[in-house]
């Protein structure tokens, strides 16, 4: 299943190699040659004797050997025949560079299907079509038309856009950034992002996996794999194509609050993927993860030779929620002994504008030795006396001596610092354009460490009545009913351990008063109709009725008014229900993402939920820890904990409610959307009541 | 008051000119010479005959002429004598480069005071001390040690950090970015940010004023000047030093919700200042404002030769709240006629990977001609066929032909596009590192246009009883009482046209019941003590009491419990107050910033305000429009407008309340902090009630 045949082939055939400059078939051939590839290269071209000094072959079969990698650069319609040759010869790895397949329409898609069919039968792995190719610097493989072979480095890159990869390569080469492997996956006819990420995870040279993706093929497998890999190798992704579209016709609150971004945010959080907002930021992050240890805490020390950038760094540290390290007395003493009197000995350590390399060396050493410092950021502005190059060398030296804490640099300027920056890069010290981008990188590292240290995921299973729910859902699906009514919803909730309010349906005012008498006052009336989704919008809810008269009046008024407002609606009656004791209203919800499955939601309930949007999402199934995290991620949590002398509610039982709901929707993929709203929670020791619920189902 | 003497002097004397390389006195001299300065340069050095081929003078007097500008680079203690010479000779402009003044302590501060005294008496303007100097490229003036003279351009730059300016200069020179003037203001002993901004506003070469500031000397003058200038010239600032400190001991909600950033945010919004989060972003923005027209609407068209970057641009446009332009049918037809069939004719227009310059030219022309397009962003990735340089030339040509809409470029890569980028810059087309930074710039331009189009500011004045408030405040100040009690607060509110609930103080349970009987049930009891700020925290508020018994029980319980909880507190009695009709609780507040004066606040009221933090701030005095904007800036506004069938409240009257409060705190600078919380607002047609208020005062 590995992609070794692409990354480290002993021989490469290029079908469609050309002697015409500017042609892709020429560029790939010359890129392979110029890279210093140690194996054999076979140009395949039936019109030429030799290209660039290499003997040409009219077709694959005439080589007389089996090339380990075949790169195809001929028009799409001719590709299936080449694939047949590969299959017959036993070729195992094929890159199809050519465009004109699935992306151009029906005919192309049919050719692509043929290619895949041949490949699957013969056990050939195919990268592409419609891609830029594959690059493996350490093996001197540049089977691409992306540009010059980059330096060897620790970043493995996967891109769904070939043109973007070419631009990245150009930028990286200009800045001396190295890669372990670069793969352009194009149409993903066979090899997809999962295969490449898996291969990079197994690749010893790759320390960081970075990528640009527009779509993800297999959501669940992706989450599982990414979560597993992130533990060893940071996964840095730019995910494009977030533009909203879906979620418009959602009937639940959860559905309408879950934007197109929500699922990806949940997936990235769960799997520990580090999301980057731009390619620039991705390389900012990648440098640090690839060449520096991760920090063991949030305490940042800053060393600078100018006040301004120091202040900018301090601002950024505060804004990112990191901690500005308080240097230990010992460190301050060390600095005081060696730095001039005007120097600032506290954080940011200002070694002053006339600092030579020695002051930086001293300050960096002292900061790294300080147990109260977890990360050091070194700032430099090029001033009259500044020794940029010796300072860079000193930083590299000290950072290598004390390897346990990350050191980042931000040398400001351009021409005056360019040699210094080269030294930093070669020494594995990430260099940033601005204090802000350096601090954003520190924040990403810190967040990743928190993810790495998360508690083990144990999903609790509650004893439930699964059969009962199965029967209700099955009945609805059989009858093609997509919304589950209040009575059935209540049964489902009870089957999964939720408490629901007592009540019955009344069809006359007198009946309503009777039921109310049995339940005990006060009661609530709710209109009873399969067609009405949001009852309070149409005046279909009346709270706090205190006696027979009020109940009968409310019944008649409701029947009259709702019928008048919605003349075509079937009204089955009115639900007379126990009035829940005073408490806080929260919402527990679920929205099923088509790619990644159930997204759980928690937030302030009642009519405020869509206005205040104080909600949090997480991917099911939930652990107890995750359920609690969801609560804590909202401002509602502060209210639940009790503000201004009000009683606090029972946080544990709300978290349990979320876990029970998570179990329900995980066990029943037929449940498409669901809200428990309001979920009425009282003070500690009381059990919350699922007052109302919306459940919609569909056949899976 | 202008700074012409610094920007365009006919002669320059350099006191402390040196022949030693690396010395600041040498660097400034050679920078002046190398820049091609047309006037006379007089090095002042009593140990040398000549430096760099220029005759040296032992002191200023021996020149025999009056130099228009004197640059001082000698140690601080010797500077006052030089200032004396300048005063005697009639020199009008002095730059003091040297450090060792205020920033190093008492002695330095004393020398600085001497310098300022001499300058004020003689009418000399002084820039510095402790600064990098002044640069005016068009006049070939480089009176600085910041580096080479940059290109002439339209950006005026002011910096409070010399070292940062040197780094900026190095970056700008490497990227061919030009400036009109650069000024390093150092310690701001005389010339401060206001003087420089005013001078740049009057400077014809300057089209954009950009700056890095750490502090602002005169808040009110700054706001007024900035607001006036922003109408003509965009003002782009990086404001550093935001790290929080204050606002910890605030006793009002408004005070504790106003962070250290709030005042600057309000000032920037009011004055139309464009805030930049980093120097990089500042130059991103400055390029566009300096060389492109502002957009007349939010509709962005994107032209690209690759899908990936197009998607990234589309994502950024959506995330920034801009509009992805829908091209007109005519434009689509034009494109269809000339572009290949596989091209995407809709937005983003994909001219395909093999596009030469002609397709870009066609697409850009068509997009700029489209009335549904306000801005065009051109993306390019360097692919095999790409003509980066001719494409850049075509963009410059078309953009110059059709000058009314902004055109921005984002050429991705490095080496392969560097010549093209030079052409773009020289042609006034701003070039961006990433689609995201280009779109962030478009957003800044769009926001600025909205600010420019804001309605004229007319602050309404309400007829009020100012005398009464004066008397109450005066009495409190005389008695050194900082908090105004409930009864006086009520009078102040009523004097400014607020309605307050009826009520009186009771000292016995029977008295309480009597008062309640007069007001009419239900009533509220509130503990009455000058020492208790948050009554509900100590159980000092009891709502909805419905009869004599309830009132008497509540009275006794409150007296007993509060006294037990706070034994050292003086309790004067209990306020018996009318229970306000059901309504929405909002908060109107004011926090006085030490630099910028009263910041008005609006938000959801009651106990939730500090938890939900759904508040908005604005600088007083408020116009009607601004008061409404404050309401609309909160999510609470949605609730007030009525959600889910609930009645909407009267928005106009809340806005009026904010304006009345704004008038009160503007007329009384003694009011330091103030909350009206809750401000109980009912349905349209009803008048809100200021239920409770906190006012603290101090002598000004």
- For residue B27 the two structure tokens come to 């660097």
| Residue whose C-alpha is closest to residue A439's, from A365, A374, A377, A381 | A377
Q: Do B242 and A318 touch (CB under 8 A)?
A: yes
The number of beta carbons lying within 10 Å of the beta carbon of residue A650 is 17
**What is the reported pLDDT for B251?**
52
Tell me the H-state helices in B377-434: 388-401, 418-426
Band (A645; pLDDT cuts 50, 70, 90): low
Residues of B in contact with A416 (CB under 8 A): 147, 170
Tokens describing residue A700: 């899976």
Q: Cα–chain-centroid distance for residue B509?
A: 54
What's the mean pLDDT in A351-369?
A: 96
B533: DSSP letter: S
Top-confidence residue, A242 or B489: B489
Among A residues 622-681, those touching chain B with beta carbons less than 8 Å apart: 635, 638-639, 643-646
- Which residue in chain B has the smallest CA separation from A213? B308
Alpha-carbon distances, residue A468 vs A464, A465, B159 (angstroms): 9, 6, 72
B304-316: buried (b, 16+ CB within 10 Å) or exposed (e) per residue?
Answer: bbbbbbbbbbbbb
Q: Is the dihedral of CA A54, A60, A62, A63 positive or negative?
A: positive
Helix/strand/coil for B324: strand
How many whole angstroms from its chain centre is CA B563?
48
A638: nearest CB among B159, B611, B635: B611
Burial annotation A578-599 (CB, 10 A radius, 16+ → b, else e): bbbeebbbbbbbbbbbeebbbb
Higher-pLDDT residue of A362 and A577 is: A362
Question: What's the token pair of residue B147?
Answer: 């580096």
Q: How far are the Cα atoms of A59, A60, A112, A143, A691 from residue A13, in angstroms, in the given order?
A: 10, 8, 21, 10, 69
**Shortest distance, CA A464 to any CA of chain B (angstroms):** 35
Cβ–Cβ pairs < 8 A, chains A and B: 211
d(CA B504, CA B518) in angstroms, rounded, equals: 10
Residue A40 near residue A9, CB atoms below 8 Å: no
How close A515 comes to chain B (CA, Å)? 28
CB contact under 8 A, A27 and B415: no
pLDDT at A643 over 70: no
Report ipTM (2 d.p.).
Answer: 0.87
Residue in A23, A163, A646 nearest the CB of B381 = A163
Cβ neighbors of B276 (< 8 A, separation 6 or more) are B236, B237, B238, B282, B285
Residue among A164, A315, A414 whose CB faces B381 most closely = A164
CA-CA distance, B70 to B63, in Å (whole number)?
A: 12
Which residue on chain B is closest to A309 by alpha carbon?
B164
**Structure confidence at residue B246 (pLDDT):** 33
Element (H, E) at B196: helix B193-202
CA distances, B5 to each of B10, B60, B118 (Å): 8, 17, 18
| Separation of alpha carbons B522 and B510, rounded Å | 16
**Which chain B residue has the Cα nearest residue A639?**
B611
Which candidate from A242, A318, A608 shows the least CB-CB separation from B315?
A242
**Whole-angstrom distance, CA of residue B77 vs CA of residue B74:** 8
pLDDT the model gives residue B571 = 85
How many C-beta neighbours within 10 Å does residue B248 have? Answer: 8
CB B538 within 8 A of CB B566: yes
Q: Which of A219, A266, A274, A271 is nearest to A662 (CA)?
A: A266
Residue A1 scores a pLDDT above 60: no
Region A265-281: mean pLDDT is: 94
Q: By the CB < 8 Å criterion, does A536 face chain B?
A: yes
pLDDT digits (tens, 9 = 90+) for A655-671: 999 999 999 999 999 99
Strand order from edge to edge, sheet including A93-96: A40-44, A11-15, A69-72, A93-96, A125-127
Determine the pLDDT at residue B257.
66
Which of B163, B318, B414 lies at the smallest CB-CB distance from A170?
B414
Spatial separation of the C-alpha atoms in residues B438 and B451, rounded to whole Å: 20
Backbone phi, then psi, for B349, in 5-degree steps? Answer: -75, 115
d(CA B516, CA B577): 7
Contact list in B for residue A607 (CB cut-off 8 A) is 643-644, 646
Q: Which chain B residues are closer than 8 Å to A434 by Cβ? A: 278-280
Q: Which of A159, A611, A643 sits opposite B607 (nearest CB)?
A: A643
* Higher-scoring residue by pLDDT: A495, B579: A495
The alpha carbon of B434 is separated from its chain's Cα centroid by a whole number of angstroms, namely 25
Rg (CA), chain A: 32
The pair of three-digit structure tokens given for residue A91, joined into one six-digit string: 């070729």
Give residue A261's pLDDT.
79
> What is the distance in angstroms between the Cα of A614 and the nearest Cα belonging to chain B?
9
- Interatomic CA distance for residues B492 and B482, integer angstroms: 15
CA of B406 to nearest chain A CA: how many angstroms apart?
Answer: 23
Q: What is the pLDDT of residues A345-354, one digit of tens each?
A: 989 999 998 8
Distance CA A86, CA B542 (A): 86
User: Within 10 A of B586 (CB to CB), how many other CB atoms are there?
Assistant: 29
Q: Report the percentage of chain A scoring pLDDT > 70.
A: 96
Q: What pLDDT, on the 0 to 100 scale, is given for residue A503?
A: 85
Q: How confident is the model at residue A164 (pLDDT cuts 50, 70, 90)?
A: very high
| CA-wise closest residue to A176 among A160, A155, A197 | A155
State whether residue B417 sits within 8 Å of chain A by CB: yes
Partners of residue A161 in chain B, C-beta under 8 Å: 306-309
- Residue of chain B nearest A432, judged by CA positions: B280
* Bridge-based pairing state of the strands A573-578 and A503-506: antiparallel
Return the closest-CA partner of residue B340 out of B315, B358, B324: B358
Set of chain B residues whose Cβ sits within 8 Å of the Cβ of A436: 277-278
Q: Residue A246 pLDDT more than 60?
A: no
Chain B positions in Cβ-Cβ contact with residue A305 (cut-off 8 Å): 163
Taking the C-alpha atoms of residue A599 and residue A256, their distance in angstroms, rounded to an integer, is 12
Could you state, in chain order, the average pLDDT of each consecutive group of 10 residues for chain B (700 residues)? 90 96 91 96 94 95 96 96 97 95 90 97 96 97 94 96 93 94 96 96 97 88 94 94 47 64 90 95 96 96 94 92 94 95 90 94 97 98 92 97 95 95 96 97 97 93 96 96 89 95 89 90 86 78 88 88 83 86 86 91 79 88 95 87 72 93 97 92 84 92
Please say whether the dihedral angle defined by the alpha carbons of residues B273, B274, B275 and B276, taken in this order, is positive or negative: negative
List the end-to-end C-alpha distance of chain A, in Å, as a whole number: 31
Q: Which residues of B touch A640 (CB under 8 A)?
A: none
Q: Which residues of B touch A212 (CB under 8 A)?
A: 308
Cβ distance A278 to B434 less than 8 Å, yes or no, reads yes
CB B73 within 8 A of CB B28: yes
Is the CB of residue A21 less than 8 Å away from at least one CB of chain B?
Answer: no
Which residues, in sequence order, are CB contacts of A631 under 8 Å at separation 6+?
Answer: A602, A616, A637, A640, A651, A654, A655, A658
Suggest the residue from A22, A436, A644 to mutate for an interface test with chain B (most B CBs closer than 10 A): A644
Select the residue from A171, A242, A308 to test the B interface by mutation, using most B Cβ atoms within 10 A: A308
pTM reported for the whole predicted model: 0.89
- In the stretch 465-524 of chain B, residues with CB closer than 8 A to chain A read none
Q: Which of A27, A436, A635 sits opposite B277 (nearest CB)?
A: A436
pLDDT of residue B538: 80
pLDDT tens digits, B191-222: 999 999 999 999 999 999 999 998 887 888 99
User: Which tokens hold the place of A680?
Assistant: 């009425």
The reported pLDDT for the residue numbered A365 is 97
B491/B365 Cα distance (integer angstroms): 66
Q: For residue A170, give Cα distances in angstroms to A148, A283, A388.
A: 8, 13, 26
Q: Which two three-digit tokens encode residue A452?
A: 């790495």
């Amino acid at each position: 299943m590995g992609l070794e045949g692409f990354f480290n082939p002993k021989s490469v055939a290029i079908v469609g190699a050309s002697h015409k400059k500017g042609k892709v078939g020429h560029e790939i051939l010359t890129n392979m040659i110029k890279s210093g590839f140690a194996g054999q290269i076979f140009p395949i071209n039936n019109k030429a004797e030799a290209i660039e000094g290499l003997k040409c072959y009219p077709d694959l079969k005439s080589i007389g050997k089996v090339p380990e990698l075949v790169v195809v650069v001929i028009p799409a319609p001719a590709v299936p025949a080449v694939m047949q040759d590969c299959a017959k010869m036993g070729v195992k790895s094929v890159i199809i560079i050519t465009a004109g397949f699935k992306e151009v329409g029906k005919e192309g898609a049919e050719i692509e299907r043929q290619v895949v069919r041949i490949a699957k039968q013969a056990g050939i792995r195919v990268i592409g079509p419609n891609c830029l190719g594959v690059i493996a610097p350490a093996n001197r493989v540049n089977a691409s038309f992306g540009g010059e072979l980059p330096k060897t480095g620790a970043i493995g890159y996967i891109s769904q856009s070939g043109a973007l990869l070419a631009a990245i390569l150009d930028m990286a080469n200009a800045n001396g950034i190295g890669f372990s492997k670069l793969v352009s996956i194009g149409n993903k006819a066979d090899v997809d992002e999962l295969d490449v990420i898996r291969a990079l995870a197994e690749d010893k040279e790759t320390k960081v996996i970075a990528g640009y993706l527009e779509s993800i093929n297999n959501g669940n497998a992706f989450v599982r794999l990414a979560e597993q890999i992130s533990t060893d190798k940071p996964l840095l992704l730019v995910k494009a194509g977030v533009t909203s579209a879906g979620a418009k016709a959602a009937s639940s609150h959860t559905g309408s609050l879950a934007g197109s971004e929500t699922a990806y945010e949940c997936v990235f959080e769960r799997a520990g993927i580090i999301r980057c907002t731009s390619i620039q930021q991705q390389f900012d992050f990648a440098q640090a993860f690839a060449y520096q240890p991760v920090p063991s805490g949030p305490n940042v020390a800053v060393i600078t030779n100018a006040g301004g950038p120091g202040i900018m760094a301090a601002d950024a540290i505060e804004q990112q929620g990191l901690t500005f390290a308080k240097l230990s007395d010992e460190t301050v003493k060390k600095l005081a002994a060696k730095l001039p009197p005007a120097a600032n000995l506290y954080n940011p350590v200002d070694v002053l504008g006339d600092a030579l390399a020695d002051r930086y060396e001293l300050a960096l050493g002292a900061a790294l030795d300080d147990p109260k410092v977890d990360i050091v950021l070194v700032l430099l502005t090029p001033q009259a006396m500044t020794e940029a190059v010796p300072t860079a060398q000193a930083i590299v030296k000290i950072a290598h001596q004390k390897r346990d804490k990350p050191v980042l640099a931000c040398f400001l300027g351009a021409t005056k610092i360019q040699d210094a920056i080269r030294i930093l890069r070669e020494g594995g010290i990430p260099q940033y354009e601005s204090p802000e981008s350096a601090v954003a990188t520190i924040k990403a590292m810190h967040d990743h460490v928190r993810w790495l240290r998360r508690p083990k995921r144990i999903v609790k299973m509650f004893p439930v009545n699964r059969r009962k729910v199965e029967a209700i859902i099955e009945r609805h699906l059989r009858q093609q009913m997509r919304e589950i009514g209040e009575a059935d919803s209540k049964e489902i909730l009870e089957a999964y351990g939720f408490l629901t309010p007592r009540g019955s349906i009344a069809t006359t005012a007198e009946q309503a008063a009777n039921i109310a008498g049995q339940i005990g006052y006060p009661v609530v009336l709710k209109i009873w109709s399969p067609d009405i989704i949001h009852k309070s919008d149409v005046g279909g809810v009346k709270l706090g009725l205190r006696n027979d008269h009020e109940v009968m009046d409310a019944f008649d008024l409701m029947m009259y008014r709702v019928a008048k407002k919605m003349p075509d609606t079937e009204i089955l009656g009115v639900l007379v229900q126990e009035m829940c004791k005073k408490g806080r209203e929260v919402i527990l919800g679920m929205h099923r993402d088509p790619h990644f499955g159930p997204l759980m939601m928690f937030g302030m309930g009642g009519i405020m939920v869509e206005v205040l949007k104080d909600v949090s999402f997480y991917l099911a199934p939930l652990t107890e820890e995750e359920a609690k995290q969801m609560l804590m991620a909202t401002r509602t949590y502060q209210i639940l904990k009790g503000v201004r002398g009000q009683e606090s509610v029972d946080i544990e039982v709300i978290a349990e409610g979320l876990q029970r709901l998570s179990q329900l929707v995980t066990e029943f993929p037929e449940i498409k959307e669901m809200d428990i709203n309001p979920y009425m929670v009282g003070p500690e020791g009381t059990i919350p009541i699922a007052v109302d619920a919306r459940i919609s189902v569909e056949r899976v």
